[in-house]
Amino acid sequence: MAKRSGGLRFQPSGGERKAQVPTGKKQRLEIDRLAHDGRGIAFVDGRTWFVEGALPGEQVEARVLNARAQIVEARGERILTPSPRRRTEPCRHARVCGGCTLQHASEEDQLALKQRTLAEQLQRVAGLEPEHWAAPLTGPAFGYRRRARVAVRWDAAAGRLDVGFRAGSSQTIIAVEECPVLVQPLQTILLALPQALAGLDKPQAIGHVELFSGTDEAVLVRHTAPLGEADLDRLAGFCAAQGAQLWLQGSAEPQPHDPSRGLGYRLAHWGLELHWRPGDFIQVNEAVNEAMVAQALDWLAPQEGERVLDLFCGLGNFSLPLARAGARVTGVEGVEAMVQRARTNAEHNRLEDVHFYQADLSKALADAPWARGGFPAVVLDPPRDGALEMVKQMASLGARRVVYVSCNPATLARDAAELSRQGYRLVRAGMMDMFPQTAHVEAMALFEKPGV
């Protein structure tokens, strides 16, 4: 998109500038296909429309949310001619809640969209296609999410506390009576939460609430002002009634109300239990996470005693199963607190041949003492912006096999192009449906370079 200029505006040579499409305008559209983010695409008068809640082949009446240049963002408000592939959303809030964007599409069509997104990004950005496509990793379509953030806002004019999830493309808070994507214990807590918060003496002090489920349930209350003893007692009583831990967070790190209770999650296949705290990153989908770890180990195929490097290792989600499988593992993470928790998790699970280090993962690693000798196998699970600086170092680290776990196909494709330039082959790739009912794509790719 061209940069805006604060100076003179010139009329294009092709004629007069088109009038901007006003926000709120209604437009009848015929949907051509789906964009990577799950919105329907339509074309009218030289403009491309991206329409929430629409499927290919449908005629819809859409309301404009935003328009700029030749791009119009809209929400489908009436389905005039529905697709035969449309289904009734299982959740009554799906059309207004911003959490799930694809409940109107079948699980089969959701998987097809995500597979196409991954393939198109690899081809368009890197010019690559894997030698073998892996079957998608899937789990339950509902009742899978073990972590959720609940929006809370005090409405001073109405004298009420709004509790729920954000509406799509809006800051409006939608009060919800169900959330079928949550694991069952969190569904129960969510439904009871608004009444519990509304009963506080100072509900306006609540910033937001996060819900967690693992070896125990937990409720993290983020507060913007100190809470009185009576409100603390009410929150503790609510959590006790729900069988959940209470955690509190003001301006510092989250703290447990009862420090004697532990919180963690299990990797049952390897007999592992990982401790964690609210604020730490964990995968929200237990079933797909376990399948993902199993696939990574299968693709990496570490030999007994082989040196394996786990970059962006976090709490040890890959490191500890690799160590349990007999590899000599070095885990590296940018955040020192996570390194310490990973070490604690290794000790808790009685794993000795795994070591964790803190490092700046945007800089060279080969000179670090723990990197001497290189690593035949590397697994990395970076954030959305990818790991370009790390993949530039794969050959210098001696990596023959690289498993790249990605939450963003665009940066995976960019980094795959760099690995290809170093002589690595894209041997396998596949998507992982970590977030059913959304267009979010997780992926895994295996790169090999014989004879490094």
Burial environment of residue 113 by CB neighbours within 10 A (0 to 12, 13 to 18, 19 or more): buried
Closest alpha carbon to 33 in 16, 9, 56, 10: 56
Closest CA to 122 of 435, 409, 407, 437: 409
SS3 label, residue 430: strand
- How far apart CA 327 and CA 315 sit, in angstroms, is 17
Residue keyed to tokens 């680290």: 397
100 is in an annotated binding site: yes
CA 219 from centroid of its chain's CA atoms = 20
336 marked as part of a ligand binding site: no
Beta bridge partners of 62: 27, 76
Write the CA distances from 46 to 42, 71, 85, integer angstroms: 10, 9, 28
Q: Are 293 and 317 in contact (CB under 8 A)?
A: yes
Q: Which amino acid is at 128?
A: L
| Residues 91, 102: Cα–Cα separation, whole Å | 11
Residue reference for tokens 């296909």: 33
Q: Beta strands 244-249 and 255-256: pairing type?
A: antiparallel
- Consult the annotation and say whether 239 binds a ligand: no
**238 annotated as ligand-binding:** no
Residues found in the chain: 452
3-state helix, strand, coil in the chain (%, to 5): 25, 30, 45
Residue 312 annotated as binding site: yes
If DSSP codes are grouped into helix, strand and coil, which group holds residue 405? Answer: strand
313 annotated as a binding-site residue: no
Asked if 239 is an active-site residue, the reply is no
317 is in an annotated binding site: yes
97 marked among binding-site residues: yes
Exposed/middle/buried for residue 110 (C-beta within 10 Å: 0-12, 13-18, 19+): buried
The sign of the torsion formed by the CA atoms of 319, 132, 436, 188 equals: negative
Options 219, 387, 407, 444, the catalytic residue: 407
Q: Residue 107 is inside which H or E element, if any?
A: helix 107-121
CA 46 to chain centre: 34
Burial (CB < 10 A; 0-12, 13-18, 19+), residue 382, is buried
Collapsed DSSP state (helix, strand, coil) of residue 308: strand
The annotated binding site is made up of: 91, 97, 100, 179, 283, 312, 317, 333, 360, 381
The annotated binding site for [4Fe-4S] cluster is made up of: 91, 97, 100, 179
The annotated binding site for S-adenosyl-L-methionine is made up of: 283, 312, 317, 333, 360, 381
**Catalytic residues, which ones?**
407
